[in-house]
Structure 1
Amino acid sequence: MKRWLSDKTDDNVTVVVGESGSGKSTFVRRLPHFWEATPVKVLNIRNKLTDPGLLLDQLSEVLEIGPFSDAGGLVRQEESIEPQVVVIDSAHNLFLAEVGYLGAYRALMECMNAHLTHVYWVIVLNAPSWNYLSYVFVREQRVSNLYKMPRWSPMDIRRLILSRHKGGRRQLKYNNMLLSAAASSESTSIRAANSRVFNILWEQSGGNPLAAIELWLNAVKVKGRLAEVGVPERPSANLLAGMKDDLYFVYTAIVLHSSLSTEEIMLVTHFSEPVVRHAVKQGINMGMIIRDESERYRIDPYWYGSLSGFLHRKNMLWN
C-alpha cells in the first residue's frame, strides 16, 4: 500500500485469504490502527449478496459518490473520490456456486480490475472460496498481491490460550497422560507437560487460533477451582467414513461458501429439501455443524480441520 500511495505502482489490490478462524476479522479490525496514511473504509458483506446492482449501490455509499451501474461508471467519478483503502470483508458472501449467482463477485472483480488511482482494494475471503473463484475466473482474475493468513506458532497459541484462561482464575492441572513419568521432579514434569500440551495443540489445530481454542476447551474438564487438561485431540475423520455421498456434497458446499441456508444448499447441490435437511441434521447431531445468528449453517471450528482434510482426501475440495 505504501508503494501505491507514493505512485510507485499501479497495483491497487491485495487479496487476504485464510481458513475460518485464522484471524481475518482481527486483521480487518486492526488495519486502521497500523495504516493511517489514508482513510480505511470497510464494507462487510454479512449475508449472501449475489445481485451486482445491490453490491455496486453499497460501494457507492462507501465511496461517497453517486450511483453507478458498472466499473466504467466508477472510473468516471474517480476525481471526486479521495485516496482511500476500501476493505471488502467476507467477500465469500458475494457468490453461490451455481450458474447465474456469480454476478456480484464478477462486478467486484471488474471494479478491482478498473484503472483507479485513488482506491486501494483489500479483499478478504475464505480460502476454499478463493480457490473455487480462482478456477472459475481463471482468465479474468488478475491478483499480484495474495496474502495468506499465516499459521500461528506454538508460542503464539500458548499465549492466546493462557491469556483466555487467566480470566477464569482456575488452577491448571495436567492429567497423567501429559505428565512425564521420567521427570526428575514434579516441577520438571509440569514444565514438560506444559510444553507438550501446547505442541500437541498446535499440531492438532494446524496453527489456527480459533481451532486451538475449541480444541483446548474440549480437552479441559473443570472440577471446582481446578481445570484439568487432557490431551487435545481433533475429532476422528473415521466418524465420516461410510456416509452417503450426498452428505459429503452438502458438507463440501458449506465449507466452500463458509455458511449457507437450507435453501442455498438446495440451490448449489440440486438436492431435495429432505436430503439436505437429513445431511444437516446428521452434522448437527455429530456436533460438526452449527447454526449461526443469520440462520445459516457453518462448520464448527472444532471439526473444521478433520472435515476439511477428509474432503480433500476425497478430492471434493482442492487447494
Structure 2
Amino acid sequence: MQPRQAARRALARNLRPELERDFDLVQSHHRKAILAMERVREVVAFAESDEAAEAGALTRDAIQHSLSLLEFSRGELASWQPDFELRQVRAAAEAFAEIHLLLGRDWLSVQAYVADRGFRHLASLTGQLATETLSRFARRGIAWSTAAGRRFLRRIGWSVSADAGHVEVVTRAVLPRQFAVDVSTIALPALYRRLFRPEPVQDSRFLVGRERELAAVAEAREFWEQGRPAALLVVGERGTGKTSLVNCAEQQCLKGVEIVREEFTRRVVTAAELRSFLAARLGVDEPDLLEEHLARRRCVIVLEEAERTFLRHIGHYGAARALQRLIAATCSSVLWIVVMNSSAFKLLDAAFEFGSGFSHRVNTGAASRDDIRNAILLRHNLSGLRLEFMAEPLQGGHLKKLAAAIQGGDRSPEALFFNALRRESEGVYRTAFDIWLAHIGSIEAGALYMRPLSRPDLGQVISEFDQEDLFTLAAVLQHGSLTPEEHATVFQLSLTESRARIDQLAAREILDEDRRRGGFRVRPHAIRVVREALYRRNLL
C-alpha cells in the first residue's frame, strides 16, 4: 500500500467532486443574477414603450414585478453560502476519515469491511422491500375479491346496493373548463394581460416560428419588383397568426412600397359587389375600369377575410371568381396578398382551383411544441414574474408509473405542461394562449403558479352533436361566420328553422355573435371541440 496515492485517491473521491459541484453552483447563481438584472431591464423597457391608455398601470406592474424578482434573486444569492461551507467541511472530514481508515488497515481488511457492510445492508433492504410489496399486494387482492363478491351478489339479486334509492339528475354536456373560461374575467396584472392580449402581433419580436413564411413574402416581392407576375395567398385557421404575419411582413419585407390593406367585413357574393368594393377602396370612379387603373399603379394590395367573397350555394361564387380573374389580369403591376381560412380555401380550390392563380402560397399551419413554448415564455419573461409549474399527482398506481418510466424523456412538470398544451391547442397560438391563461393558479410574492394541464374528455360534448349541427358547424368554418339568412340560403331552409339551429348552438357555447363582421362564428374556445367533432365524421 502506498499512503500518498491512497490519500490522493481519497481526496479525489470525496473532496474534489464536492468542490467542483459547489463552484459550478456558485457560478450558476451569479449567472442567474446577471440574467435577472437583464430581464428586469427588458421588463421596464417594454412597459415604458407602450403608449396605451393603461400605460401607467403597466409601468407600476413592471416596477412591482421587477422589485420582487430582484429580491428573490438576492435571497438566492444569500442562501447558498452557509450550505456551501457546511458541504465543504463535511466532504473534507469524510476524505480525511477515509485516509485514516486506509492507513490503519491493510487493503484486504478494508475491502472485507466494505463488502461485509454492503452485503448486510443489501440483504436487509431486499427483505424489507419484499415484505412491503407482498403485504401491499395481499391487501389489494383481498379488497378486490371482496368488492367482486359484493358485485356478484348484487347482480344475482342476493344483495341490495347501499344506495338503492334512485335519484337521477341529467345535465347537458358542457365544454370542459379550459374551453369555457372567459380569459377577460381572470384577475391578472395589467402588464400580463397586455402581453397576452388576443390581438394580432404588431411587434415582430413576438412573431415566433414564422421565418419561412416571411421569406416567402420577401421572395414574392422580389418576383414582383422584377416585373414577373406575383401573388401571395396566406391560408390558415383562425388564431394561427395570419394577420400577425402580414403585420410583421409590412415592417420587414414590404417597406418602401405603397400598401392598400382592406378587410371584407361583410359578405360579397357577386362580381359587381366585389368590383364596387375594390373601386371604393382604391379611389376608382368606374368599377369597370379597375384593370386599367391597376395596370398603371405599382402597389401592394392586401385583402383579409377573403372567405366572405362567396356563399356555398349555386350562383353565389361570383365574387371569388371575379377576384381570381382580377388577380390574374393585374399581378404584374400589383402584388396581391389574399388572406383566408383553410376551410374556405379547400372548398374554393376544389370548386374552381382558386389557388392556381397565386405564385406563392403560405400555410400558417400548426406551430410546433417548441414554438408555442418560446412564444409564451417570451411574453411571460417580459412580465417580470417568476414561473412555477405545479406537479400533477401521478394516478393509476404501478402500471402508470411503469408506463411513464418506459416513455422516458423529460418528465418535469414544465415539460409535461407544454407537451399537453401543444396537444390540446393543436398548434394554434390563440388557443394555446387562452389555455395558458385559464390554467394560471395564482400569483403570489412575484411568482406565477401554473396548474397542471390534463387531457379533457370531449366525448360527451361531441356525442350530442347531431348531423344537422355538424353540417352547420362545417359551413360556419368555411364562411368565417354566417347570419341566419345566409344559413337559410346555404341549406335551403326557412329563416325560422335556420335561426333556431344557430340559437341552439349558441346556447351550448359553441357559436357566438361576431359583432365586428356580423353573423355567428365558432367561439374561439370551442374551435378545438368543433374540429375534433368534424374530423371524427370525416367532414374536415
TM-score by length of 1: 0.83
* Identity between Structure 1 and Structure 2 (%): 23
Match of 1:46 in 2: 265
Distance 2:394 2:240 in 1: 27
Describe the superposition over 1:152-194 as per-residue Cα deviations: whole angstroms up to 9, x where unpaired.
2323312333455564958644253489x99xxxxxxx99111
Distance 1:100 1:235 in 2: 42
Distance 2:456 2:343 in 1: 20
Match of 2:148 in 1: none
Match of 2:451 in 1: 229
Distance 1:255 1:302 in 2: 14
Distance 2:504 2:514 in 1: 17
Match of 2:100 in 1: none
Match of 2:360 in 1: 145
Distance 1:137 1:99 in 2: 13
Match of 2:39 in 1: none
Cα pair distance change 1:79/1:98, threshold 3 Å: closer
Cα pair 2:294 2:330 within 8 Å, conserved: no
Which of 76, 81, 100 pairs up with 2:292? Answer: 76
Cα pair 2:509 2:523 within 8 Å, conserved: yes
Cα pair distance change 1:246/1:156, threshold 3 Å: same
Cα pair distance change 1:29/1:114, threshold 3 Å: same
1:305 matched to 2:521? The reply is no
More helix by share: 2
Cα pair distance change 1:63/1:154, threshold 3 Å: same
Shift of 1:232: 4.9
Match of 1:185 in 2: none
Cα pair 1:98 1:267 within 8 Å, conserved: yes
More strand by share: 1
Which of 33, 36, 54 pairs up with 2:255? Answer: 36
Aligned residues: 304
Cα pair distance change 1:247/1:106, threshold 3 Å: same
1:23 matched to 2:241? The reply is yes
Cα pair 2:275 2:290 within 8 Å, conserved: no
Match of 1:246 in 2: 468
Match of 1:187 in 2: none
Match of 1:208 in 2: 428
Using the TM superposition, name which of 162-171 and 300-309 deviates more.
162-171
Report the AA paired with residue 130 of structure 1.
F
DSSP-derived class of the 2:357 partner:
coil
Match of 2:302 in 1: 87
Match of 1:268 in 2: 490
DSSP-derived class of the 1:265 partner:
helix
Cα pair distance change 1:140/1:198, threshold 3 Å: closer
Distance 1:160 1:59 in 2: 36
Report the AA paired with residue 22 of structure 1.
T
Shift of 1:270: 2.0
1:279 matched to 2:485? The reply is no
Cα pair distance change 1:177/1:158, threshold 3 Å: farther
Which of 515, 520, 528 pairs up with 1:293? Answer: 515
DSSP-derived class of the 1:95 partner:
coil
DSSP-derived class of the 1:290 partner:
strand
Cα pair 1:172 1:228 within 8 Å, conserved: yes
Distance 1:299 1:306 in 2: 10
Cα pair 1:234 1:306 within 8 Å, conserved: no
DSSP-derived class of the 1:43 partner:
strand
DSSP-derived class of the 2:255 partner:
coil
Distance 1:60 1:280 in 2: 34
Shift of 1:313: 2.9
Distance 2:309 2:317 in 1: 7
Distance 1:140 1:216 in 2: 35
Gaps of 5+ in 1: 183-189
Report the AA paired with residue 339 of structure 2.
V
Distance 2:346 2:284 in 1: 32
Shift of 1:278: 3.8
Match of 1:117 in 2: 332
Cα pair 2:462 2:529 within 8 Å, conserved: no
Cα pair 2:271 2:318 within 8 Å, conserved: yes
Shift of 1:97: 0.7
Using the TM superposition, name which of 149-158 and 222-231 deviates more.
222-231
Cα pair 2:231 2:331 within 8 Å, conserved: no
Cα pair distance change 1:32/1:315, threshold 3 Å: same
Describe the superposition over 1:28-73 as per-residue Cα deviations: whole angstroms up to 9, x where unpaired.
222221111422211111222224323212322444444222xxx3
Distance 1:75 1:104 in 2: 15
Distance 2:316 2:386 in 1: 50
Report the AA paired with residue 104 of structure 1.
A
Using the TM superposition, name which of 127-136 and 233-242 deviates more.
233-242
Which of 392, 407, 422 pairs up with 1:176? Answer: 392
Cα pair distance change 1:222/1:264, threshold 3 Å: farther
Cα pair distance change 1:110/1:232, threshold 3 Å: farther
Higher relative contact order (CA 8 A, sep 6+): 1
| Cα RMSD, aligned residues only | 3.0
DSSP-derived class of the 1:114 partner:
helix
